[in-house]
Amino acid sequence: MADAEIAGSTAGGGGEPLGLVGRCYAVAVITAALVCPLELGVGGSPWSQVLVLAALYVACEWLVRRQALSAAGGVETQTRWTAFFPVLLAAATLLRPGAAALVPVLGAVLAPAEPPRALRRAWNAAQLALAACAAAEVFDATGGSSELTRRQFPEVLGPTLLAALAFCVVTALLVGGIRVAAERADPYTVWRGALLRSLLPCLGYGLIGLMMAVLWSSYGGLAAVLVLLPLTVSSWVYAQFQQEEAAHQATVSALVQAVEIKDEYTRGHSERVSRASVLMARELRMAEERVASLRVAGILHDIGKLGVPTRVLRKNGPLTDDEHEAVQLHPTFGHEMVRGIGFLGEAREGILHHHERMDGRGYPTGLAGEEIPEFARVIAVADAFDSMTSTRSYRRGRPVTEAVVELERCAGSQFDPVMVEALVRAVRRHGWQPAAPTAADEDAPDVPLGIREPRRPAGAGASGAGAAGVKNAATRVAR
Amino acid sequence: MRRPAVPMQQAVSTRGRSGRRSGGAGAPATVDAARVGRLPRRVVAVYAAAVLLVLASGVWLAVYGFVEAWIALGFGTLVAVGELLRTTLPGDRVQAPLGAAAALAYALLGALAGERTHHGVAQVVVVTTGAAMVGMVPRVARGRQPCWDSVARRVLSVGVAALLFQPFYNRGVLLRYGLEHGPANGAYLALCAGVAALTDMGLAALLAGSHSGARFAHALRDECCALLRIGSAIVATGVVIAIAAGEIGLWALPLFSVPLLLTQAGFRRYAAIRATQRQTIASLARATEVAGYTLPGHAQRVTLLACRVGRELALTEGELLLLEYAALMHDIGQLSLVDPIPGGATALLSRAEQRRIGQLGSEVIRRTGVPPEVAEIVARLAEPYRRPDGTRDGDVPLAARIVRVANAFDDLACDDPGPARREEVLVQLREETAQEYEPRVVEALARVCQRMPG
């Protein structure tokens, strides 16, 4: 649920240090929050209403935090629900701006926070207060208050949505601001992301707040509880969802670990291929869902090695033709294994074809050029790049620059030049951290790179291409 | 030796088509019912009650007439839309939360925008049933089965809510006792809706129980666990729509559906990730087959069998899920072996070797993020029913004893799927109940085998 995103962002940048600029910014916001309500005035709002709403806000927050905690098995993982906005928006429609600003204060002060605690709590309270205040001001200014008391539907929906919009914009600006100040993040991306993520949930919260306000005069707290009940259920579901998602990620990495038990060379390799593929996908401006799918495809690309006999995988010498054939079955095995996983979609094709070559001499089917699925072309480059920069027992890892030259040499024949270029740009922009060499790797010989061409055309038991080719060539030289 | 696998796809899709129930793998229950060729008596009784109620309401309306058609149309539309947005909840329950809430709201509707309404129980039943049928049309047009179970449940539970509210409202009884305004009204409506929700749960348990052969108490326990949260959201939304319509008229319908729709979307995502997790674990289970350690389809067959036995022994849905995961991954420890066991049949290995595989497997499973109980089950798979000195280890989870029996059955019977061979293997397992296998589990397996098609 996207509404959790903005809720999380109110925690003042999570656990990162604030820095001097960040602190100054937070203090400025807190001062503004103190001045604003005084200027606008608390007005004739009844204090009992302010108290009930504040108590409701505290209770909802507590409940939601507890649900997130119990779902995480008592360990505070990323509890992103740190605010319960519908109550605040109800306050914005029911109360004068100054009084609405008081509602979130108690909840923000009582909520747990990272150190420096006092500053973070004050900051959370201040930015929520300013947002609630702005929403109430907009609701009043657009005539929402009188329409609400006269039950004018649908006219009152306009001011409500405007108030929710104001709440969303103010929160996004303030929260984005602290990220810009504290982490030197790029302001445009921060604000755009925050606004896009929170816009729709905020409009929904606005409507829910309006519902509470409609029922408030005749039914009081009971109506509020009934309106909020589905929301607490949905936050429970969200916590369950997060837990199950984490479990699913663990299961995927367990699949990978099963391969790493068999083939010690690949320790961490899958993770790094996945990371490189994602960096490349970002350079290629792929849609987010595809990037997520590609991440999993990268992790699982060698999963089929489970089907290759351990003795072949661990062999420290040249492979016979039969053994090559066994190794070359791994994309097919991998595809067979992940066949049943519905959400993988495109990723399954990526796993099946990640050893194809642009000139059609790869395996398992000998596709060429554009016939090769895009995911497979990405993974092929990432796979070869990581193989070359990692240290294996038969060869020391090569520097990134050397690997890049080699990739560029093979672009067109083995790799898609577009993908190679994406990788080069990604590495230039983000840097690359190859696998840390272990003590055992000290003896690895220093062997120059050189990707061997397959001896025979595809399908006829050609000796490995790509990463496997590097491995064979190097093994030969090493002996 | 190798025989074609029972693909997981097939097991999964059978479950999908059979509607809801069966938290575990496969749907033996409905298949069994279909084979018998007639519906269980309890199901017939529920259906008959629902049909009678609708017919009686229709006759009543024909005699006394239909009132306030626009209000009926408004609520009916929301019911139909809610029916269209039917979604699958975790545990393969198909639900239409918005449709249920809208029907409840119409049953509990007193005033609309300050004006009194005059519809009675009969009109509520006819309108909500008709709207639900209309909402099901696209589903049926796409070739899916209509869920008669949920229609029957809806008719009866909404009827109960309307019966508790409409007659008293229309005759002014509520007004006399001060239950028509303010918090007292809200509380009374919540009470009516609560009774309706309990009725629905009871009916769901009755139907689920007679489909799967589980006892009513067990089915009721499962339904309560599964429906408690979404049920309370439905009740709250139904009540809120009813009272808000009293304040602001039909605008309350779209407006107050928003929170429930959000909740429904959350449940849908949760169910989706649960399904994905199950598929991924099935892939992990397939790893031993791809690697040549076990025969194709072994993990799936053991899982299907273990879940049927588990249901026979009245495990809860939560326990069945753990059992399913453990059965799928029971051979995962073999991945750590350098040389495969001939035929992958662990039942024929020495105890020490079985224990070692169980331990290795549980270490892998601990890293998968499934509940830790699953690793414990797999670690204890090798434990016999009685130790050599005749004592029993009470700590071994029932799920471990079930997987142990199911695994042995498949290891022994996989080369010949015929009923004669099944009988032979059962005799063999029964002979070993003194030491190796728990008699209760073997008997449950025998009952499951009897129901298997030849």
More confident residue, B32 or B257: B257
Q: Identify the pLDDT of residue A199.
A: 86
Nearest neighbour of A229 by CB, restricted to B236, B277, B336: B236
Q: Identify the pLDDT of residue B337.
A: 72
**Average of per-residue pLDDT across A223-230:** 85
In angstroms, what separates the C-alpha of B288 from chain A's closest C-alpha? 8
Nearest neighbour of A211 by CB, restricted to B183, B190, B244: B244
% residues pLDDT > 70 (chain A): 82
pLDDT bin (cut points 50, 70, 90) of residue B7 is very low
In angstroms, what separates the C-alpha of A259 from chain B's closest C-alpha? 9
Question: Of A333-337, A441-445, A455-459, which one has max mean pLDDT?
Answer: A333-337
Q: Is A4 on the interface with B (CB under 8 A)?
A: no
When scoring B230, B283, B294 by the number of chain A Cβ atoms within 10 A, the one with the most, hence best to mutate, is B283
Summarised one tens digit per residue, pLDDT across range B303-320 is: 999 999 998 888 888 899
The dihedral through the CA atoms of B305, B306, B309, B315 has a sign that is negative
Contacts of A238 in chain B (CB under 8 A): 266
Q: Identify the pLDDT of residue B38.
A: 63
Question: Of A312-316, A365-369, A378-382, which one has max mean pLDDT?
Answer: A378-382
Q: Is A343 on the interface with B (CB under 8 A)?
A: yes
Q: Is B88 strand, coil or helix?
A: strand
Residue in chain B closest to A254 (alpha carbons) equals B368
More confident residue, B151 or B214: B151
Query: Which residues of chain A from 126 to 165 reach within 8 Å of chain B, CB to CB?
Result: 151, 153-154
pLDDT bin (cut points 50, 70, 90) of residue A12 is very low
Q: Identify the pLDDT of residue A344.
A: 81
Summarised one tens digit per residue, pLDDT across range B374-423 is: 999 999 888 888 887 877 777 888 999 999 999 999 888 877 777 888 88
Q: Identify the pLDDT of residue A180.
A: 85
Nearest neighbour of A250 by CB, restricted to B185, B279, B368: B368
Q: Identify the pLDDT of residue A312.
A: 80
Are A218 and B230 an interchain contact pair (Cβ–Cβ within 8 Å)? no
Under 8 Å between Cβ of A462 and A456: yes
Are B269 and A241 an interchain contact pair (Cβ–Cβ within 8 Å)? yes
Q: What is the mean pLDDT of chain B?
A: 84
Residue in chain B closest to A207 (alpha carbons) equals B255
Q: Identify the pLDDT of residue B326.
A: 93
Are B280 and A222 an interchain contact pair (Cβ–Cβ within 8 Å)? no
Contacts of B291 in chain A (CB under 8 A): 306-307
Q: Is B229 on the interface with A (CB under 8 A)?
A: yes
Summarised one tens digit per residue, pLDDT across range B215-248 is: 788 888 888 888 888 999 999 999 999 999 988 8
Contacts of B255 in chain A (CB under 8 A): 207, 210-211
Summarised one tens digit per residue, pLDDT across range A203-219 is: 888 888 888 888 888 88
Are B233 and A249 an interchain contact pair (Cβ–Cβ within 8 Å)? no
More confident residue, B395 or B344: B395
Residue A274 clears pLDDT 60, i.e. is over it: yes
Are B243 and A254 an interchain contact pair (Cβ–Cβ within 8 Å)? no
Are B265 and A255 an interchain contact pair (Cβ–Cβ within 8 Å)? no
Q: Identify the pLDDT of residue A439.
A: 58
pLDDT bin (cut points 50, 70, 90) of residue B344 is low
Q: How many contacts does A have with B, using Cβ atoms within 8 A?
A: 175
Flag whether the pTM goes above 0.90: no
Q: Identify the pLDDT of residue A443.
A: 60
Q: Is A247 on the interface with B (CB under 8 A)?
A: yes
Are A337 and B232 an interchain contact pair (Cβ–Cβ within 8 Å)? no
Are A208 and B183 an interchain contact pair (Cβ–Cβ within 8 Å)? no
Q: Is A313 on the interface with B (CB under 8 A)?
A: no
Summarised one tens digit per residue, pLDDT across range A147-187 is: 888 887 788 899 999 999 999 999 889 988 888 888 777 88
Residue B11 clears pLDDT 50, i.e. is over it: no
Are B244 and A215 an interchain contact pair (Cβ–Cβ within 8 Å)? yes
**Average of per-residue pLDDT across B45-57:** 94
Residue A16 clears pLDDT 80, i.e. is over it: no
